[in-house]
Amino acid sequence: SEGGGGKGIRMVHTMAELRVGYTQVQAEVPGSPIFIQQLSTNARHLEVQVVADSYGNAISLYGRDCSVQRRHQKIIEEGPVTVAPRETCVRLEQGAVRLAKKVGYSGVGTVEYLYDLTTGACSFLEVNPRLQVEHPVTETITGVNLPAVQLQIAMGIPLHKMPHIRKFYGQADPLGVSPIDFDTCPQNPPLGHCMAGRITAEDPDTGFKPTSGAIHELHFRSLPGVTGNFSVGVSGGVHQFADSQFGHVFAHKPTRDEAGVLLSQALGELGVRGEIHTNIKYLRSLIEKEQFRNDQHSTAWLDGLIAAKDKPVDLALTDHAVVMCGAVMRAHTRHHELEERVVDALTRGVPPEAWMTNLSEHAFHLIFNDVKYALRVTQGSPTLFYVRVNDVAACEAEVLTLANGGLKVLLGGRARVVHAEPSKIGLKVHVDDAPCFFPDDRDPTRMTAPGTGKLLRYLVGDSERAVEGTPYCEIEVMKTVMPLIATSTGCITHLLQPGASLETGDEVVSVLVEDLTCVKVSEPFAGAFTVFEPRKLTIGSLKKNSALVTHTSNHAGIIQILAGYDFTGNDDPVTPLLSVIGTACLAADDFAETKQAVSSRADSESLAELAAIEQLLCTAVHAERIGAVGNDTFALSDPHTSKLALGQKDVVSLAVRRVKDLIEKCGPDFLPMRHFVEQFEGGLQMNRVRVLTRFLETFLDAEEPFACSASFEDAISVLRSRYKGDANAVVHYAHAHSRLARRSALVLKILDEVDTRDATDSGPCLDAVRRLMKLESASRAGYKEVSYRARQIIVRKQDESRKSRRERQKAIERAGGKNLLLSKGSESLSDFGLASAGSMYGSVDDLGEMSDVTSEAESAGGPNGGTPGAPRATRRSVGTLFLDNTNTLARFNSYANLAEANGVMRGVAELHLGVGQGGVGDSATSGSRLSKSPPTHPPTPVTFDPSALANNAGGAFDWSSLFEAPSETEKFAAISALFAASGVLLANLGPNAGPEVFESEPGVTFVRLDKGRNLVLFAPSLGHAVAALPEASALQPEELSFVISYPRLHGREAGDVRESAAAFVSGQNLAGAVSSSTSRVAVTLLAVGATPQHFTFARVGASDEGTVKGRGSETSAGAEDALSPTAQKLPQRRRSFGPLGETPGSPLEPEGEFKEVVLARGFWPHVAAQMEVERLGNFQVECVGMIASRSHGRKRAVDFVTPSEYAIGVFLAEEFVPKSRQGAKLPQRDRRGFLPPPG
């Protein structure tokens, strides 16, 4: 009798149930009398609202039907009563009034009855002497404000003086005080029908068990005729000691059916999200059930549905849809958790682990309704998810993050709102406000609390046996005693004391399971999962298979993959994309789509022009389809258009030009057309190249930091320094790198297209391919295939250009040009790299006076010859040469040194030299000076191919041009320019001189000199040089010269560099890679922006046909037979070398090993050979300059490795003085022209 809200009531059928029920009632209503009533079945709960004053007056305000109950607590109330005849209702109302008068009741109360649907009999149930929570139902249908009436009764006001009561009884003067005969005066008829639903914190899926917790969001949308009352706010909660009801929704309409429909709509607009479960969805399903609509339910109806495990049927929200929403929510949460963890590590300066950067792959299980789903979720972007069930594609879902932290998930063409709630025992989400729970795997050895509450008592003792499916303890939840059911069979151990507070997931007892095979486990899903269709991509009126739709979807897929994400649109997005880029169909579709954005703002003239452009593109599409398009061009039927198209690369370029004219004419209104211009400017081929280049650059932007770093941590440090303050950018690059394998496979396909389409003709694309080629230098194996494919493209491009290059060289020979000589005019010796600053040798006029070094033809006045009286550089004569007063050392530190004056070595030189006389190497006499007689043959112009040089810009070459030039032609031109600086023209050495590339290592270029006795290799790295060495040694050269790109020159000490060079030579010699026939190895290390380093090594004990006995010209027997190609005797090699020249052998220098030639250190190898620096054994030598002599009566040789090729060397020499004699003897210093003996 002291219960309420269904508490303290139990229905029992046996004595055992009576004993259990009696104990539970005692706990729920302590101290209350307990009595027994007869059970009434198939009955309706009807109640009458009564009002009585303290003057003996009592009235009824119609009745209410509260038959929809669970556990004897009302869920739905409505009024007036419609299930019983009106006569029965009047009889019940009169009985309630008589009861109130008989007991002298004063106030507002309720008299409750049970109405038997079978017999129509009525039974008294109880009286509630208070104002009940469902009183608004009566207020709505009568117009009486019951709380106001309650207060007026307490104030002593009689009923007939209350305005609401007088109005309800039809009194003309509501504010009057005239008496009313309530027994005979008629009441106003009910004002329609009112239906109410109680909102409770209960879980219908578990038998309406109460739940408690915080409420994060409460959204109620009021409709006409709908009222909502709530006891919590948007940030409140329901605690475990409160009643489960926290809201009440009332719907008022003229009829019962209309009121039911309105209440269902109102519940559909009500949303509650939080830690609690609610009955909103279930309540709505009850109202829509046919039995309720037909008014055929009873008080036991809802309990029967609960016992039958009835659940609301939502055809749209199926189990599979719930699983998909849960999978997307868990993957989204994991993605952001990993991202936040990586960002936190970067913020603290700690490089994250590599596995943490894979943000877009998630594999896990979800259990829903005792079915376990094996899920794998990949992401196409931070907002695009691909879900696979049992490794079978199930859905593609897009998400939008809401302001409150929830997700709007687009699934199967329908948007669903999903929120996640924290839970210790699984994943809890709300899908369209419907709570859905994904529990963790069941642990049979633990029994836990399903929610908050208080432990009352154990029903199974400690260390006793509990049986699965039977209660083992009782807990109190929101003043209701509920049993906890055992989930395993076995002996239990109590872990908590009675009276302890419980939280969700708290372990109550541990279980020693008797039979693990009998443990209930979730069944793995094995059926066919529902496939949810992805959102369709629609672009205007274009068809699904149109070029633009194909381009848009597959282009997005490639971008996703390059960013490290997944793409499931098709297995190969590259092939369909390549089929449409660079086509007229794509251009026409893109223009049609862009045109729609500006058509509404265009005037008639502009619309006509747009239509003309569209027609032009349609013509191109037609021609393309019938195969009339060749090289992106075709004939236009319109003469005017044909005339305009003559200057265009193709018809699309013409369309682009006309669109640009429209944009310029119409201004900002046509700015959307800029997209079309940007895509197709330059024609269809440029559209294709632009797209491919963008893909390659996207890959490179992410991978270059990792390729250039020794480890993943180092790369992260590089990215952190590059993107200071933007840790998310670092995370995105690291995530992209984590999917290197798939991204590399995609780039290989793109490179195949680049190769097929000759996209490297475009500078940006060529740069991108060169950058990809450089990835090979990294230690990571993931770049090997990409780098090798890029290198193949560069090599093929070079091979294709080689034929045309050789044809140009043959044209030079046919023109009679044998040497590249100085042209008249602004060229000076500095053009050939003989000076690095100033005019070291004076003007051309100065040189013209030197008949021993300059022919009369060369010294004759020309258009740009020396100006009489012009100031000349201060100079001193050393022999027949002039040095400026800076004594500048002519070392080739850059290509600017090779072409100092103009920054260019001229490609075309018209030299008026007679063939056979007066030319270089064709001396008329054998005297010490040249003859000045005029030539006997007319001048012959000599033409040199300008493509082999620097295209009028000396800065166009740098050291990298020797190794990784954009084309083979440019690389060979750079090499030729290097040799030409010392007067060696490779084109004149014959077709086998080179440059050539090795078959085994295409990245290494080599030149044959002195008929193959000397081999010069140009390698982009030490590794490339090592790889090419076996093939080079197979040619058995006597001398090997390596010119190697060595970026580590920057910041390294000279001694370290020298040791590296020595280790390279000695290591390869010990490994047997250097041929035994090779007696000298020269190493030149280059890096852009660093001073070149040159080292020469000679084999200890090696000699050319003999051994030098002294510093003179004496040679051993047989030396006279060793001749150079110019019939000169070859100089002999010393046994060992040092700053003092020849030194005796040492046990530490065994025969066959290589020892550095110290005197040659710092010289370009060919310069050291030309100047024969070994002859100055006692001097520290710097080569100032060099020039060819014509005074020996022989033709000038062009092979720089033969020591006597240049008869005169100009040196700055300082005698070496040992430390023991320093101070006693001053070193001698001199500048001299050194003339080695002929032969």
Which are the catalytic amino acids?
A: 130
Please give the Cα distance from 716 to 733 (Å, whole number).
9
Q: Which of 29, 38, 97 is nearest to 62 (CA)?
A: 97
DSSP H or E run through 722: helix 712-722
Please give the Cα distance from 1160 to 114 (Å, whole number).
120
**Cα distance from N-terminal residue to C-terminal residue, the chain:** 135
Please give the Cα distance from 391 to 1151 (Å, whole number).
68
Decide if 431 contacts 317 (C-beta within 8 A): yes
Tell me if residue 109 falls in helix, strand or coil: strand
The CA angle 208-210-215, to the nearest 5 degrees, is 115
DSSP H or E run through 480: strand 480-485
Question: Within 13 Å, how many C-alpha atoms sit on residue 827's CB side?
Answer: 22
Residue 455: CB atoms within 10 Å: 21
For residue 984, give both structure tokens.
Answer: 């060696």
Tell me if residue 209 falls in helix, strand or coil: strand
- How distant, in Å, are the alpha carbons of 379, 398, 404, 529 from that of 411? 15, 7, 20, 14
Residue 655 CA to its chain's centroid (Å): 35
**Beta bridge mates, 238:** 213
- How distant, in Å, are the alpha carbons of 375, 487, 524, 702 from that of 322? 13, 25, 16, 37
Write down the residue that tokens 């193959």 correspond to: 1012
Residue 151: CB atoms within 10 Å: 11
- How distant, in Å, are the alpha carbons of 183, 290, 393 from that of 59? 8, 35, 68
Q: In 129-229, which residue ranges form alpha helices assigned H by DSSP?
A: 135-142, 146-154, 163-168
- How distant, in Å, are the alpha carbons of 124, 179, 180, 821, 1119 from that of 57? 22, 11, 10, 134, 149
- How distant, in Å, are the alpha carbons of 74, 575, 726, 1071 from that of 139? 18, 72, 62, 105
Tell me if residue 260 falls in helix, strand or coil: helix
The CA angle 160-164-168, to the nearest 5 degrees, is 85
Q: Which of 94, 137, 134 is nearest to 113 (CA)?
A: 94
DSSP H or E run through 69: strand 58-70
DSSP H or E run through 1137: strand 1137-1138
Cβ-based neighbours of 333, under 8 Å, separated by 6 or more: 420
Please give the Cα distance from 705 to 719 (Å, whole number).
7
**Beta bridge mates, 108:** 51
- How distant, in Å, are the alpha carbons of 149, 330, 703, 1226 from that of 354? 73, 22, 14, 65
Radius of gyration of the chain (CA): 50
**Beta bridge mates, 485:** 471
Residue 1105: CB atoms within 10 Å: 16
Write down the residue that tokens 């051309």 correspond to: 844
